[in-house]
Amino acid sequence: MHPASSVILFNTFSGLGFGLLFWLGLGVIVPTGMSAFIWFAIAYIFAVGGLIASTFHLGHPERALKAFSQWQTSWLSREGICAVFALVTMAIYGAGLVFAGTQLQLIGIVGGIASLGVVFTTSMIYAQMKTVPRWRHWTTPAMYLTLSLGGGALLAGQITLASVLLIIGGILQVFAWISGDTRFKSSGTNMETATGLGHIGKVRAFEPPHTGTNYLMHEFIHKVGRKHADQLRIITIGLAFVVPVLLLLLPFTNHIFAALAVLSHIAGVLTLRWLFFAQAEHVVGLYYGKR
Amino acid sequence: MTQLPPPSAKKLGLVIDLDTCVGCHACVVSCKGWNTENYGAPLSDQQAYGADPSGTFLNRVHSYEVQPEEGAAQLIHFPKSCLHCEDAPCVTVCPTGASYKRAEDGIVLVNESDCIGCGLCAWACPYGARELDAKEGVMKKCTLCVDRIYNENLPEEDRQPACVRTCPSGARHFGDLGDVDSDVSKLVAERGGFDLMPEQGTKPVNKYLPPRPKDEMPEFDILAPYLEPIASDGKGFVGWLDKALSSLPGGAK
């Protein structure tokens, strides 16, 4: 799959932002006044910034309102509704803390769960794709949720929570990669089923339909960088999980180390998301004899 | 609505004969011609005369080489367009309701004025039947020439998809695959028509007819054995000539 930068930015920053909103909503930290304003501003810049970035890949972003209508079948529609609900609810909760210094606990819990709901609905957009065997697995939503919770806890300065969640996340990601490597093959879709010519013999793409490229090849067939996947996986694990956990576990607390842990985690998650797309193979590539 | 309608009794679709397709791409050209001037936004091209041309097509012809265990490889031309699946995954993923399957005849269409161009339907389609038009920013797909097949302004023989009408080898057939007595259904039953990627669970309406087995040609030329161009036994005059030429300086061994 083509790793579109708008979608990578969305997945990374919205995940962190909604993760932070989840912990804020649950009352793990209860700031008031100006400090509450700063906490919520950070969460909203991440969450909303990511959402805005995601509209950059649309052909007609001006019609985006229509996307709220098909929640009965479409995970993308559910994601949109969930995002608006979570942002509005958390804005009410945040306003209570910033302006009145009161904690509207129930609204916070509802908003926090809805924030996590956004992350879950996002993950299901990918996990539902039968055409991309690597994504169609429980590890996709599990990974999205763990990353969002872990990253959110890291932003919220929760050392124990963040360390535990990031360690779980790292282990889960390694499992997702290893189990995902064989999923295309075991999906049962291959050139023989794609063409229905397997009963004659081995099928090979002889001539493509056109000399140039097309939308499908651009969107679904991506090879550049896959050859560096092993190194990128090591870099991802290092930056997203190992370095932040080590910095958190240092025996003295220091704001610079905390900031470094956050930056390292963000850089790692950006790489992780890039790999999530770049390594995913769509079955349509089979028609072109490519992946 | 992106909820799929209950399965329609009428299932309009194509039957494509891989035995007779000659790979001329006439269906590709006629499809582009008709659909760029009629239903919905035109099918744009980018750098059509430049170094890196590309464009939107609703129908493309691939060519595959199939190598049997024994005997010569076969070349098979393979036209591919939307299969108007009964369980169309491209419809249910659409967030706006732009993508829909018609309850009356099963044709899968895009309402372009509702399409936000998110591309998710193209992700969900295993066949590569949908292409986002780079100029218009909306999703384009085969309409089964819905503006021809019911068009009473056209002579009756033209009321079929442009690709079917234009195919010079009769490799494309259009009809109601929901009716077991229709010509296309009979053809599918007779020739063993099959689905593409059945394991994806999309239940395509369009069917493909397999290439017929190749004839075995018996050896009938009585002179052929005497005219073998290469001597491999190394006896007699040819054998002497082979040795003599090989012994010359620079001769092939």
The ipTM, to two decimals, is 0.91
The answer to whether B72 and B169 are in contact (CB under 8 A) is: no
Domain of residue A116, CATH code:
1.20.1630.10
In the predicted structure, residue B14 carries a pLDDT above the cut 90: yes
Signed CA dihedral, B62, B63, B67, B68: sign only: positive
> Measured between CB atoms, which of B64, B98, B116 is closest to A205?
B64
Q: Output the CA–CA distances (angstroms, integers) from residue A197 to A240, B19, B83, in the order listed.
A: 45, 11, 17
- What pLDDT score was predicted for residue A92? 96
B-chain residues near A191 (CB < 8 A):
64
The answer to whether A71 and A117 are in contact (CB under 8 A) is: no
What is the rounded distance in angstroms from the CA atom of residue A87 to the CA atom of residue B202? 36
Range B160-184 average pLDDT: 96
Nearest to A46 by CA among A19, A82, A24, A66: A19
CB B114 to CB A66 under 8 A?
yes
Structural domain that includes position A82: 5-288
Signed CA dihedral, B183, B158, B167, B105: sign only: negative
CA trace torsion A146, A152, A154, A159 (10° rounding): -80
- What pLDDT score was predicted for residue B230? 63
Q: How far is CA B117 from the centre of its chain?
A: 25
CB A214 to CB B57 under 8 A?
yes
DSSP run (H or E) holding A33? helix A33-54
> Measured between CB atoms, which of A128, A188, A284 is closest to B199?
A188
What is the rounded distance in angstroms from the CA atom of residue B136 to the CA atom of residue B139? 9
Structural domain that includes position B195: 12-209
Q: Which of A94-108, A246-260, B17-31, B123-137 has the lowest mean pLDDT?
A: A246-260
Per DSSP, helices labelled H in A128-228 are 139-155, 159-180, 183-186, 191-195, 215-220
A-chain residues near B195 (CB < 8 A):
196
Q: Output the CA–CA distances (angstroms, integers) from residue A122 to A19, A80, A126, A142, A180, in the order listed.
A: 13, 9, 7, 12, 19
- What pLDDT score was predicted for residue A228? 84
Return the beta strands (E) in chain A as ranges.
202-207
Q: Does A132 touch chain B (CB under 8 A)?
A: yes
Tell me which chain A residue has its CA closest to the CA of residue B62. Answer: A209
- What pLDDT score was predicted for residue A70? 93
- What pLDDT score was predicted for residue B253? 66
The answer to whether A166 and A245 are in contact (CB under 8 A) is: yes
Which letter, b or e, does each residue of B58-73 get, where b requires 16 or more Cβ atoms within 10 Å of its Cβ? bbbbbebbbeeeeeee
B-chain residues near A199 (CB < 8 A):
210
CA angle A57, A183, B129 (to 5 degrees): 45
- What pLDDT score was predicted for residue A195? 95
Burial of residue A276 (number of CB atoms within 10 Å: 0-12, 13-18, 19+) = buried
**Which residue of A73, A121, A125, A140 is the best one to mutate when testing the B interface, meaning the one whose CB has the most B CBs within 10 A?**
A73
CA trace torsion A226, A230, A233, A237 (10° rounding): -170
- Structurally, chain B folds into a number of domains equal to 1
What is the rounded distance in angstroms from the CA atom of residue B201 to the CA atom of residue B88? 9
Give mean pLDDT in consecutive 10-residue pieces for chain A, a chain of 291 residues: 90 96 95 93 95 89 91 94 96 95 93 97 96 96 97 93 96 96 93 93 92 88 77 94 92 82 96 93 92 75
Residue B231 maps to a domain? no
In this structure, which amino acid lies at residue B83?
Answer: L
- What pLDDT score was predicted for residue B232? 65
What is the rounded distance in angstroms from the CA atom of residue A73 to the CA atom of residue B97? 10
Residue A285 C-alpha, separation from nearest chain B C-alpha, in angstroms:
9
- Structurally, chain A folds into a number of domains equal to 1
C-alpha neighbours within 13 Å on the C-beta side of residue B239: 5
Longest dimension (CA), chain A: 75
Nearest to B19 by CA among B70, B79, B76: B76
Q: For chain B, how big is the Rg over CA atoms in Å?
A: 25
Burial of residue A291 (number of CB atoms within 10 Å: 0-12, 13-18, 19+) = middle
What is the rounded distance in angstroms from the CA atom of residue A73 to the CA atom of residue A169? 29
DSSP-derived secondary structure for B108-143: EEE-TTT-----HHHHH-TT---EE-TTT-SEE---
Phi-psi region of A196 (alpha: psi -120 to 50; beta: other; left: phi over 0): left
Tell me which chain A residue has its CA closest to the CA of residue B122. Answer: A216
Residue B118 maps to a domain? yes
B-chain residues near A206 (CB < 8 A):
63-65, 75
Q: Does A227 touch chain B (CB under 8 A)?
A: no
What is the rounded distance in angstroms from the CA atom of residue A50 to the CA atom of residue A41? 14
CB B97 to CB A66 under 8 A?
yes
The answer to whether B124 and B91 are in contact (CB under 8 A) is: no
Per DSSP, helices labelled H in chain B are 26-37, 89-92, 120-124, 146-149, 162-166, 183-191, 236-247
DSSP run (H or E) holding A15? helix A5-25
In the predicted structure, residue B139 carries a pLDDT above the cut 90: yes
**Which residue of B4, B25, B54 is the best one to mutate when testing the A interface, meaning the one whose CB has the most A CBs within 10 A?**
B54
What is the rounded distance in angstroms from the CA atom of residue B194 to the CA atom of residue B24? 23
Nearest to A202 by CA among A191, A210, A189, A187: A191
Name the A residues in 140-179 with CB < 8 Å from any B CB: none
B-chain residues near A77 (CB < 8 A):
95-96
Model confidence pLDDT, tens digit, residues A184-230: 999 999 999 999 999 999 999 999 998 888 899 888 887 666 778 88
- What pLDDT score was predicted for residue A224? 65
Range B150-172 average pLDDT: 96
Q: Pick the residue with more confidence: A261 or B251?
A: A261
Model confidence pLDDT, tens digit, residues B218-241: 767 777 777 766 656 667 887 888
Residue B248 maps to a domain? no
Q: Which residues contact B158 (CB under 8 A, 6 or more apart)?
A: B148, B151, B165
In sequence order, what are the beta bridge partners of B108?
Answer: B101
A-chain residues near B92 (CB < 8 A):
73-74
Residue B251 maps to a domain? no
A-chain residues near B24 (CB < 8 A):
none
Residue B252 maps to a domain? no
Q: Does A202 touch chain B (CB under 8 A)?
A: yes
A-chain residues near B68 (CB < 8 A):
200-201
Name the A residues in 248-287 with CB < 8 Å from any B CB: 282-284, 287
Domain of residue B193, CATH code:
3.30.70.20
